[in-house]
Amino acid sequence: MTLDDLRVFVAVCRAGSLSAVARELGCTQSAVSQHVKRLERETGVALLERQPRGVVPTRAGRILEEAAAEGISGLDLAVRRLRDLGSGEHGYVRVATGATTVRHFMSDAVVAFRRRYPEVNLEFRTVSSGRGSFDALADGTLDLAWITLGPPVRGIEQRAVVELPWVLAVRRDDPLAGREGVDAADLAGLRVIRLPPNSASAAHLEAACAEAGVRFAYDTSVADWDTALLLAELGVGRAVVPAFPGLEQAGDGTLRLLPLPGLRPLPVGWAVRRWDALGPAARAFADTVVRHRRGQRAIARVPASTARTALPPPPRSPEGPPPGAASSTG
């Protein structure tokens, strides 16, 4: 068996389709199938089960997929480190974020990090779901992912950084705008703007409401928190959103933000494949973000055991605009 055989097999298991992987690789479905057949001949067991709508790994296939994914990720990390050593670069950090994460959670940390480590390349990729972030972490294409924390995920470590209280956003001419806060009981039956239905933040909000015995009615659905706030500011509806950093400065006074102390706060933070497998640059960036978020009710830090291999102290430079610019799609 070859490394290419294993890469293709892992891709097929995750996509659930030979044809989808063939399209991604720019080859024929027969060529993808040959990789799988070679592995089956080598192992002597069936690795995939054909179904009407694709393929799924057999029990033996799941064992091989897990081991292959772990091994490939380790090899890719080693190759990246060897290239850094050979080229004399200081490394790079690849981060998965949501559409507005960099603006609200990382802007000050990015500036501080770039000033301190100007030779480190920062790359931000917008990922639309937690599942997509976990897959990218697992296959080694990303180092860190900023997520809404949820249930444990096999092969992924999650670390909470801050807990965000919920607020009700209304226009200043709304009947509720004069209140200092809103009790959970007053939310029952309230019509609000719906957060992205498949997002972890929406799932957490629904669970927190269920604990408080609250059920919302929805008229409008949005793709992110900023859009929900904009619609509330325009008077299209009311929005329940987490009180993310910088929210208190949102708008021109048209918007009122009413605390919802009866709802369990939203935990957000880092996800990685393994903390002890992070390179020094990625660990330093993760810890920089944590330090800058301490004011937002920080509840955890990157474990001390993962920060022992630090980047060497950079040469001192005068204060000024950060050299270079971090690439970002968020």
Token code pair at residue 155? 């092969």
**Amino acid identity of 132?**
G
Kind and range of the H or E run holding 56: strand 54-57
**Amino acid identity of 72?**
I
> In the prediction, which pLDDT does 16 show?
92
Contact call for residues 181 and 260 (beta carbons, < 8 A) = yes
Token code pair at residue 283? 């660990």
> In the prediction, which pLDDT does 312 show?
44
Alpha-carbon torsion angle 294, 182, 177, 296, nearest 10: 0
Tell me which DSSP letter residue 272 carries: E
CA distance 232 to 255: 7
> In the prediction, which pLDDT does 235 show?
86
> In the prediction, which pLDDT does 300 show?
37
The alpha carbon of residue 37 and the mean position of all alpha carbons in its chain are separated, in whole angstroms, by 35
Strand partners of residue 126:
97
CA distance 242 to 250: 13
Per-residue pLDDT for the chain (330 aa), expressed as one digit of tens each? 899 999 999 999 999 999 999 988 889 999 999 999 999 999 999 999 999 889 999 999 999 999 999 898 888 877 876 766 444 346 778 998 876 788 888 988 999 998 888 888 889 988 766 777 888 888 888 999 999 888 888 889 999 999 999 999 999 888 888 888 888 777 777 888 888 777 888 888 888 888 888 887 787 888 788 888 888 888 888 889 998 887 764 445 788 899 998 889 999 999 999 888 888 888 889 999 999 887 544 343 344 333 333 444 444 443 333 333 333 333
Neighbouring residues of 21: CB distance < 8 A, sequence distance ≥ 6: 8, 11, 12, 15, 32
Kind and range of the H or E run holding 113: helix 107-116
Predicted TM-score of the model (pTM): 0.62
> In the prediction, which pLDDT does 194 show?
86
> In the prediction, which pLDDT does 84 show?
61
Alpha-carbon torsion angle 118, 120, 121, 122, nearest 10: -90
- Cα-based angle 302, 164, 271 (whole degrees, multiple of 5): 35
Contact call for residues 312 and 80 (beta carbons, < 8 A) = no
Q: Is 36 left (phi over 0), alpha (psi -120 to 50) or beta?
A: alpha
Task: Lay out the sheet containing 255-259: strands in order across.
Answer: 217-221, 191-194, 238-242, 166-171, 255-259
CA distance 163 to 299: 7
CA distance 197 to 193: 11
Neighbouring residues of 57: CB distance < 8 A, sequence distance ≥ 6: 13, 47, 48, 49, 64, 65
Please classify residue 88 by burial: count the beta carbons closer than 10 Å to its beta carbon, then call 0-12 exposed, 13-18 middle and 19+ buried. Answer: exposed
> In the prediction, which pLDDT does 311 show?
47
